[in-house]
A and B are shown apart, each in its own frame.
Chain A
């Protein structure tokens, strides 16, 4: 039985990513796991990186606190790359996640289209258990 120590959750600021973060925090609170919020920094974000990434991180910390997560158990990890590649790396050190969580659709993706779908790509390539949180699902 895998011990759940670290939950990595993808976050791009979309409503689905918020749902995935709430679900991850709820699970982490139940089992005492840490939550690492993984953000993929794309090309366009380099045009306004400090503001964009800073705003996202602040929003994540506020949301996690609202869900009752101990701030000491939350980490923000931004990495350069496309969302799929950055999230797949969460299984490796230094994050070494036991579970990967994403929303069903992130920013810049169209419902029903597998092209450009991060969750679809992760389902094919993830080396650790993957949870795809459906849109609109209540936390917990």
Chain B
């Protein structure tokens, strides 16, 4: 069973020539259509995230400023990020997409969900828009779950580090954030030594990878660096910041994944969910429409057993040695941090 929390693509939140555009949602939904799921597909409209739900992860002053900026007609927020008069409403629906997906999964008690909304969210900071993102969609959903006592794993396989999500949950012991991403690349964060705050040491897992890295390297990163932390954390829900801009055809970055590599990643991540009905994928980046459609079909097809071969898994790219290096840097950073936090003589 696949539940899709989809939007119209929010055509009023758009700018001519900008790669983060309404057609991305249509491409993602076309990928869903390719699976021909029939009655195994349920489409639910996004909810509109409330001020209280947004305020769990964003500063109230920022929410007020952004809403007022949009009411005033919008404009450029930074060299990458824009808002229009309708962007506040679009962003609240995008942030509510995950909430609708969670509600639907709870009712069904089974299946997986895909949130096909925009604008994307993982760069949005607590008090600032960034990198095409206005509100942090996956964070809003994760905070909804942690408020209900859940332990939430967020896996972010977007090619860019999800600096906003990391910042929001930096010191939250109820969230484990795992990111594989190209580095150096925007936004410049996501080093392996970034491991979380004093109340949540080890709850941030970053594996920076070089341009040209292939699917086998990303899989190794999850297996060798992230899996031990995930096993210790024992998540009750798994959310995925599913950007598809690590695809080799993407114009904004340099990783070399194929569409079917995302099927492998989806299967790996699904295995971390404790039971059916606890997995939600969120559309983040992905700016080549053909690659986006194929990658969504491959990833979701793997999750619902509708195999959708489009190309071959990739391997042999650079960065395998950097996975081991990231693991070593992470362990060293944790030891340094624990020496500062724990009383002398405490066990690691």
Q: B-contacting residues of A (Cβ < 8 Å)?
A: 12, 41-47, 79-83, 85-86, 89, 106-110, 113-116, 118, 121
Interface residues on B, range: 20 to 34
Q: Which of B62, B186, B253 contacts A41 (CB 8 A)?
A: B186
Inter-chain contact A108/B79, CB cutoff 8 Å: yes
Closest to A118 in B: B78
**Chain B binding surface, main DSSP class:** loop
Inter-chain contact A47/B79, CB cutoff 8 Å: no
Inter-chain contact B19/A47, CB cutoff 8 Å: yes
Could you tell me the distance in whole angstroms from the C-beta of B208 to the nearest C-beta in chain A?
11
Residues of the A chain whose Cβ atoms lie less than 8 Å from the Cβ of B129 = 115-116
Q: Which of B18, B62, B65, B78 contacts A82 (CB 8 A)?
A: B78
Inter-chain contact B188/A86, CB cutoff 8 Å: yes
Q: Which of B128, B130, B187 contacts A80 (CB 8 A)?
A: B187
Closest 9 CB pairs of A and B: A81-B188, A108-B76, A116-B77, A115-B65, A42-B80, A108-B79, A43-B80, A80-B188, A81-B187
Q: A45-B79, A47-B19, A115-B128 are in contact. List 12 more A-B contacts (CB 8 A).
A: A12-B79, A79-B184, A80-B186, A80-B187, A82-B188, A85-B187, A108-B79, A110-B75, A113-B69, A114-B65, A116-B81, A118-B78
Inter-chain contact B76/A42, CB cutoff 8 Å: no
Q: Does B66 sit within 8 A of A, measured CB to CB?
A: yes
16 A-B residue pairs with Cβ-Cβ distance under 8 Å, sorted by A, are A42-B186, A43-B132, A44-B80, A46-B253, A47-B19, A81-B189, A82-B186, A82-B188, A83-B79, A106-B79, A108-B77, A108-B78, A109-B77, A110-B75, A116-B81, A116-B129
Closest to A83 in B: B78
Residues of the B chain whose Cβ atoms lie less than 8 Å from the Cβ of A44 = 18-19, 79-80
Alpha-carbon separation in the docked complex, A110 to B256 (Å): 38
Closest to A106 in B: B79
